A and B are shown apart, each in its own frame.
Chain A
Amino acid sequence: MTPVRLLGIGAFLIGVFVLVPLFIRLSGRWDLYYTLTSVALLSVGAAGVWLTFYIGRINIGQGAYALLGGYVSAILVTQWGVSFWLTLPLAALTCSAVSVLIGLPILRLRGVYFAMVTLVLTEVARLTALALPITNGAKGITSIPLPGKLSIFGLTLIPDFATLENPKLAFYLMAAVLMVLTYLVLWRMVNSRLGHLCRSLQQNEELSASIGVNTAMLRVLAYAISSFFGGLAGAMFVAISQSIYPSSFAVSDSVNFMLYCFLGGLGYVFGPLLGTLLLYFGWDLLSVAKEYQLLIYSGAMIILMLVLPNGVLSLLDRKGGQK
C-alpha cells in the first residue's frame, strides 16, 4: 500500500468521524446528520449492487433485500424482543439465505433478463409484505423501540440509544462505521483472489468454467454477499426511522441503488460510495429548487451520462492512465 493511498484513507476517516460532526456542531445544521446517515446506509446497499455488477449482472433488486432485512429486524425486535444488535446480523444472514434460493435459478439469466427479473423481485417483496399477516400489511410495523444497550461481559460497547441526548449523532456514527467496514470488506475482496475470479466471470463465463472455476457457485456466493449488504442497510434504516412499511423500499429505491453504482463507476470499488453521495446529497441540496427539483436532478444525471458514460471515477483514468 502506497503512502499516498494510506494518507487518503486517513483523511477520509478523519473527515467522516471528526470533521463532519465538528462542522455540524459549529454550523448547527443538525438536519445534515439525517442526510449523511442515509448516504452511508444507502452506500452499504449500493456496495452489494456493485458486487453483482462485478460478476457481470445488472442487479435492480436490492430494494427487495433491504425490505426483507428491515422486516426481519423489525419483527424480531417487536414480537420476540430480540436485541436490535443481534437482529442486525440475523437480518443480513436471512437475506443471504433467501438470495441463495432465489439466485440459484435466476443467476443463470444474463443481461437484460436478469435485470428485469430482479426488478420484478422488488415488486414481489413489496406485494409479499402487503399480503402476509406477520408484516401487518399496508399498516406496516411502527413504534419500533430504539436500539438498546450492547454489552459484552458487562462491558458496555454501545449505550442504549433511548438514553442518549443526541441519537442523531449516534446513528450517524453507527452508519459510518458500518459503511467503512462494508467498503473495507469489499475492497479486500476485490483485491483478493475472490475478486479476480469475479472479474474473470464478468469478462467470460465460459472461459472461467474451463479454467476450473465453479461459476454457478461463485455467482451465488457473490449474490449472497450482495444481499447481505442489502439486508444490513435495510435493518439499520428501520432502526432509525423506527417504522417499516411495504413501500419503505420500492422499485425506485432498487433503481437508485443501481444508479449510484453507475454514476460512481462500475470499475471502481469506491464508485458506489461516491455515486450515492453525489446523487443523494445532490437531490437533497436541490430541494431549494422546489418544483424544479426532479427536472434539474434528472437533467444533471443525463448530462453526466453524456459527458462521463463510464462513471465519475473514470476521470481518474483519463488523468492517470490505466489504474
Chain B
Amino acid sequence: MEQIIANGLYLGAQYALIALGLTLIFSLMNVLNFAHGQMYVFGGFVTYTVVAQFKLPFVVGLLASAVVLAVMGALIEKFLFRPVIRKSKRDESTMLLAAGIAFFLDAVILLLFGEKQRGVPKIVNGVFNWDMRIIMPYDRILIGLLAIALIVAFILFMQYSRTGRAMRALAQDRVAAELMGVDVDRYSMIGFALGAMLAGLVGGLLVTITGVNLGMGGPTSIKAFLMIMIGGAGVISGAIAGGFILGMMESVGLTVLAAYGDVTYLAIFAALMIFLAIRPQGLMGKPWG
C-alpha cells in the first residue's frame, strides 16, 4: 500500500511538471502544444549530451536543458505561432503548426542524437528500504523531490513575480490584459519559453532514471493531455492535480491490474471518458476551457 502511494507520488510529481508547461502554453495562447512530448525528449538528450559526452556534472546538464528549451520555445512562439495566429481564420490552424513542429523536432532529435535509447549513470546510489514496506532507490527519491521543488518554485513565481502576475492576467482575459498595459506579445513569448523549459527540465531529470529515446515524445504528449483534461485545461492547480491523479492511477493500476495484462491504461482512459461526460470542464477548469 505504502509502496503504491510512494510510486504514485514519484510519478505524479514528474507528470505534474510536464502538465504545468502544457497548461501554461494553453492558457496563454489557446494553443494545444502537440510538440510538448518532443520538447521533453529533447531536454533529456541535452542533459545526456552534457553529462555523458562532455563529462560535466549533472546540474550543468539540467541547466543546459532548461536554457536550450527556453530559447527554443521563445523562438517557436515568435517566428511560428505568432504569425500563424495572426493570419489564420480558425484557431485550430495552430494545431497543424504544433503537429508540424512535433514532427520537425522528432526529425531533429533523430539527426542529432540518433534512435538509440540513452541514459546517464545514476547520480546517487543505494536504495531506501523502510521495513520492506517502501522500497525506492535514492536517485528516484531525489528526482521526485527535485520535481516537487520545481513545482513549488513555479507556483511561487506565478503568484508573486511581476512576470507571473502579468501572465496570469493574460491567461484570464487577453483583451483586458492588453488594455491594462500588459505587453501581450512579450508575455506570450515568455510563457511559451517557460512551458518549453519545464518540459526540458523533466526530460533532464528523467534521463537519469528511465533514459530517453526518440519514440517517447508522442506518448508523453498524450499523457500530458490526459492530465490537463482531468484537472481542467488552462488552470495551474488543475494541471498539478491532474498530474498527481494520473500518477496515482497508474501506480495503483499497474499493481492491481497486473494480473490482467496491460489494461491499466485502458481502464484509465475509460474512466476518463466517463468522467468527462459528466464533467466536461475537468476538475477545476472553466466551462469550455
Contact = CB atoms under 8 A, between A and B. Distances in A.
B203 to A, nearest CB: 20
Nearest to A295: B107
Interface residues of A, number: 45
A124 B276 contact: no
A282 interface: no
Secondary structure at chain A's binding surface: helix, strand, loop or mixed? Answer: helix
Interface residues of B, number: 50
Interface string A288-308: 000110110111011001100
A113 B276 contact: yes
Interface stretch (A69-77, A89-97, A115-123, A214-222): A115-123
B84 A305 contact: yes
Contact of B266 (A111, A128, A251, A263): A128
A109 B222 contact: no
B289 A302 contact: no
Contacts of B222: 119-120, 123, 251
A111 B100 CA distance: 19
A262 B273 contact: no
A301 B273 CA distance: 32
Contact of B273 (A105, A251, A267, A291): A105
Given A106-B276, A310-B88, A124 B96 contact: no
Given A113-B233, A309-B84, A301 B100 contact: yes
A115 B91 CA distance: 13
A294 B95 contact: no
A262 B95 CA distance: 9
B96 A127 contact: no
Nearest to A252: B218
Contacts of B107: 292, 294-295, 297-299
Nearest to B104: A298
A251 B270 CA distance: 17
Given A294-B110, A305-B93, A120 B269 contact: yes
Interface stretch (B49-57, B65-73, B257-265): B257-265
Contacts of A294: 103-104, 106-107, 110
B92 interface: yes
Contact of A302 (B88, B97, B263, B266): B97
Interface in B221-252: 222, 225-226, 228-229, 233
Nearest to A60: B95
B218 A295 contact: no
B88 A309 contact: yes
B225 A119 contact: yes
B133 interface: no
Interface in B65-113: 80, 83-84, 87-93, 95-97, 99-101, 103-104, 106-108, 110-111
A267 B276 CA distance: 29
B275 to A, nearest CB: 10
A196 interface: no
B145 interface: no
A24 interface: no
Contact of A127 (B80, B111, B269): B269
A45 B23 CA distance: 31
A115 B218 contact: no
B218 A120 contact: no
Contacts of B266: 124, 127-128, 131
Of B101, B263, B277, chain A has the most CB atoms within 10 Å of the CB of B277
A204 to B, nearest CB: 14
Interface of B: 26, 30, 32, 34, 80, 83-84, 87-93, 95-97, 99-101, 103-104, 106-108, 110-111, 218, 222, 225-226, 228-229, 233, 261-263, 265-266, 269-270, 272-274, 276-277, 280-281, 288-289
30 contacts: A105-B273, A105-B274, A105-B277, A106-B277, A108-B277, A109-B276, A110-B289, A111-B288, A111-B289, A113-B229, A115-B32, A116-B226, A119-B222, A120-B229, A127-B269, A251-B218, A262-B92, A262-B96, A263-B96, A291-B110, A292-B107, A294-B106, A295-B108, A297-B107, A299-B107, A301-B100, A302-B97, A302-B100, A305-B100, A310-B87
Given A113-B288, A251-B218, A262-B96, 8 more contacts: A106-B273, A113-B233, A117-B273, A127-B269, A301-B103, A302-B100, A302-B101, A309-B88
